[in-house]
Structure 1
Amino acid sequence: MKIAQFKPQFFVLFLATLFVSCVYEPVDGTVEPDPGSGGNTSGIFKADFNNNTWTAAETQVVISGNFIEISAIKSNGEGFAFQIEANETGTYAANVNIVAYSPAGSEYGYWSLNDDNPDENTGSITITKIDTEKKTISGTFQFKGYWSDPDTPRAAIEFKNGVFTDLPYITEEETNDSFSAKVGGTNFVSTDILAFEINSGADDWITIGASDTNMNEISISVRTGLAAGTTYPITVNRLTDDVQASYEDENGEHEAVSGSVKIISITEDRIQGTFSFTTNGTPSINVTEGSFDVAY
């Protein structure tokens, strides 16, 4: 599956864990809040489905260099999450952006992409107003959502009459996370950062991804439980390495085959480190002077 913004290695994982333990951060803003974590309670976010009107108790919005991120939840954890490749008003197709609803307590959800027919017009999101003085955003949406777990199929749901009005937003300048590196000696300047934890039993990972204005991407993954102050090597054995990395550009994904990641500090919700690596392929790509300091 390929989705328009971050490449599949980011977003398939992002969507699979969207309402469980991940944090999507366009340059450090938290889009998906935990219930009671202090998100915005002003403004309105609602939609009709299953013969009921759903109204959010809490929202968070971030407008970054490339994306508009909207999260809306109830106190039980169910909610909507949007990621739109835009930073201005307009109407955007749902099937080439991220539009999702997840029930309470589920790691799966109803996505705006039909895996059996990716070109299907499943709906749209319209950004009607971005008030830069009041720092609020308004718009409408409607989409057909397909259940994301192929092993337990469910009927698609039509989400109608969606509206969000005067939701407060923050911008990348107001956040604290950072990600930088040099690719072939040229500065890689991140405009969007994705950080999340994947819980899969004994093999849990923290993944940090960053995109620049040209949609080139760097991904760093580290196993949870690593020690601060320790440098971990990258080898060609992705099954046993404690850290992994890759770089992706218009020519595709280039996996790291050597290098290292140093963990400077790590807590239950934030990680800081440095990295450098060399990729496979001919010619190989050297990524140097890498650093990150992100919440996840």
Structure 2
Amino acid sequence: MKKLKLFNWLSITILAFLIVGCEDEPLTGEFIQIGDPTQVEPGQFKAQIEGEEFLATLAGATLSSENLLTITGTNDVTGETITLVAQEGGIGVFNLIAGSGTDNGATYYPAGANNPYISTGSLGGSGQLNISELNSTELTISGTFSFIGKRAQLDANGDPVLDSNGNPIVDTISASLGIFNAIPYVLDDTGGGGGGGGGTGDPQDEFFALIEGVEFVEDTITTTITAISGVDMMKIVAKTSTNALIRIDFPLFSGEGTFDMVAISDGTDIIGLYNSNTGGENLTSSPGTITITNIDTEEGIVEATFQFTGSDPLGGDPTVVSVTGGSFTLYFEGIPGSGPSPFTADVDGVAYEPESVTIINSVFSGTPVVNIITNTVDNKNLSIIFPKDIAVGTYDMTPTPSTGNEKIGSYNPDLTGGGLPFWSNTGTLTITSYDTLTGDIEGTFSFTATDPFGVSQDIFEITNGTFSLTLP
């Protein structure tokens, strides 16, 4: 089975129910020019939205190692944004019909809206992008564009608003006379991917599902991570040799658990999709669930199960398909520093964010003990003490040591001002896992910290404490 891995941090938005079709290439031949980029100042990005001028205050582009070009203009005063995407980016003319089998497309976010207009071909959207200059020395790009954007009206619950015939109401917006002149672009070389196989000793991806009880035999799996409207989204696409596909989208940092799928996504929702590649529409999850059993964004692995009933969210295709028994174990390029914090807690409802975590082994009354010491940049201290031979389980916390077997928490609000430590008057410590051979230990804690000597009457509530560490 061929494995494709893409990892593109790009700000694009693509509705999850787009039509999948043939490959898209830069268009050739003679085209009507919609403007001269030199008509605007270098660095400017502007267009007409329904006859009203859109002038970006921030404009730039990204060209990935896979030649995916993303151009964005944002007015940070109004909150409006236009994004243009073209595969095989370079000088030339590109079709911006979204859902034509590539990532090509155009998106317009109105002021204060989370439901964008997209040049979705299945809804009647269209568009064209003309790149007239790509200066690889100055790293600037110039061109013109226009597009017709479509979006389904959504109610307060995010469901499509239907007309009297039961069909979704679709809004339209026109972006014309789009021009950008010598706006900067950056080269994004974070593409590629982790895992894959190929006889290299890398871990192998696994994907399984049943379509109406028949095994879906994938030929390729593509895993893409994309930033959409500030949300890092993972898109998994499995295809058969005949290009039937199953697609799953979910926010990368959803965490572990069971989550409902939606039928129509603004690009940041959890959604499942099936397309048989036999001429029908994309059938999206209505309903469906995904259970993420393991995800490590730093190491680059995700394991999950899923199931959904696929149907056309716009009602044009009466086909309904059952996708059951879905599961996957996929490997991707990990994100350094994205893993969970090794130590977290709240103090009186405010996040306690340690700058340093130190683990000290010592002996008290003949008992080996572990002291986890954390300090913040503003000189606060939070520590947890327990015997090194502690087992998985839940324990009451006490304020002072006696034999070394006690489980103790302490909090000092000011290390520099001669502040007193406050100790766990009451509380619980739970060890959720502990490998005594490797030292890997995870746990949770909460306690009420007071001064056991009565010098101070202050009380601190330590809640939502977690740690995931390796003991020396």
Report the TM-score range of the alignment, normalised by the length of the smaller protein. 0.5 to 0.7
Report the Cα distance in structure 1 between the residues aligned to 2:152 and 2:271, rounded to whole angstroms: 26
In the alignment, residue 144 of structure 1 is paired with which amino acid? I
What residue in structure 1 maps to residue 112 of structure 2? 105
**Alignment deviations for residues 247-273 of structure 1 (CA, whole Å, 9 cap, x no partner):** 9999799x9x999653446xxxxx765
CA gap of 1:148–1:238, structure 2 versus 1, over 3 A, is: closer
Check the 8 A contact 2:63/2:187 in 1, yes or no.
Answer: yes
1:194 aligns with 2:194: no
How many residues in Structure 1 have an aligned counterpart in Structure 2?
A: 235
Check the 8 A contact 1:112/1:123 in 2, yes or no.
Answer: yes
Shift of 1:56: 0.4
Report the Cα distance in structure 2 between the residues aligned to 1:73 and 1:27, rounded to whole angstroms: 24
Check the 8 A contact 1:103/1:109 in 2, yes or no.
Answer: yes
Check the 8 A contact 1:180/1:189 in 2, yes or no.
Answer: no
Report the Cα distance in structure 2 between the residues aligned to 1:74 and 1:157, rounded to whole angstroms: 18
Shift of 1:105: 0.7
CA gap of 1:75–1:132, structure 2 versus 1, over 3 A, is: same
Partner secondary structure for residue 7 of structure 2: helix
What residue in structure 1 maps to residue 11 of structure 2? 31
Report the Cα distance in structure 1 between the residues aligned to 2:260 and 2:107, rounded to whole angstroms: 31
Q: Which residue among 156, 163, 186 is the counterpart of 2:179? A: 163
Partner secondary structure for residue 180 of structure 2: strand
TM-score, structure 1 length as denominator?
0.57
Gapped runs of 5+ residues in structure 1?
1-25, 33-41, 199-204, 227-231, 266-270
What residue in structure 1 maps to residue 234 of structure 2? 208
CA gap of 1:148–1:114, structure 2 versus 1, over 3 A, is: farther
CA RMSD of aligned residues (A): 4.9
Partner secondary structure for residue 169 of structure 1: strand
Shift of 1:245: 10
1:290 aligns with 2:331: yes
Check the 8 A contact 2:237/2:248 in 1, yes or no.
Answer: no
1:275 aligns with 2:302: yes
Shift of 1:193: 2.8
What residue in structure 1 maps to residue 23 of structure 2? none
**Alignment deviations for residues 184-209 of structure 1 (CA, whole Å, 9 cap, x no partner):** 6999786x5324589xxxxxx97412
Report the Cα distance in structure 2 between the residues aligned to 1:157 and 1:138, rounded to whole angstroms: 24
CA gap of 1:217–1:142, structure 2 versus 1, over 3 A, is: same
What residue in structure 2 maps to residue 221 of structure 1? 250
CA gap of 1:45–1:263, structure 2 versus 1, over 3 A, is: same
**Alignment deviations for residues 213-261 of structure 1 (CA, whole Å, 9 cap, x no partner):** x9999756369664xxxxx588xx967xxxx9989999799x9x99965
1:54 aligns with 2:80: no
TM-score, structure 2 length as denominator?
0.38
Report the Cα distance in structure 2 between the residues aligned to 1:250 and 1:114, rounded to whole angstroms: 18
Shift of 1:275: 2.3
Check the 8 A contact 1:143/1:159 in 2, yes or no.
Answer: yes
CA gap of 1:135–1:195, structure 2 versus 1, over 3 A, is: same
CA gap of 1:261–1:161, structure 2 versus 1, over 3 A, is: same
Q: Which residue among 282, 291, 294 is the counterpart of 1:262? A: 294
1:89 aligns with 2:91: yes
Shift of 1:106: 0.5
CA gap of 1:206–1:61, structure 2 versus 1, over 3 A, is: closer
Check the 8 A contact 1:247/1:279 in 2, yes or no.
Answer: no
CA gap of 1:72–1:262, structure 2 versus 1, over 3 A, is: same
Quick one: percent identity of the two aligned structures? 18
Report the Cα distance in structure 2 between the residues aligned to 1:82 and 1:168, rounded to whole angstroms: 15
Report the Cα distance in structure 1 between the residues aligned to 2:276 and 2:170, rounded to whole angstroms: 36
Shift of 1:75: 1.2
Shift of 1:132: 1.7
CA gap of 1:107–1:131, structure 2 versus 1, over 3 A, is: same
Report the Cα distance in structure 1 between the residues aligned to 2:60 and 2:68, rounded to whole angstroms: 14
CA gap of 1:72–1:219, structure 2 versus 1, over 3 A, is: same
Check the 8 A contact 1:194/1:210 in 2, yes or no.
Answer: no
Partner secondary structure for residue 27 of structure 1: coil
Report the Cα distance in structure 1 between the residues aligned to 2:254 and 2:236, rounded to whole angstroms: 22
CA gap of 1:106–1:285, structure 2 versus 1, over 3 A, is: closer
CA gap of 1:288–1:99, structure 2 versus 1, over 3 A, is: same
Larger relative contact order (CA 8 Å, sep ≥ 6) = 1
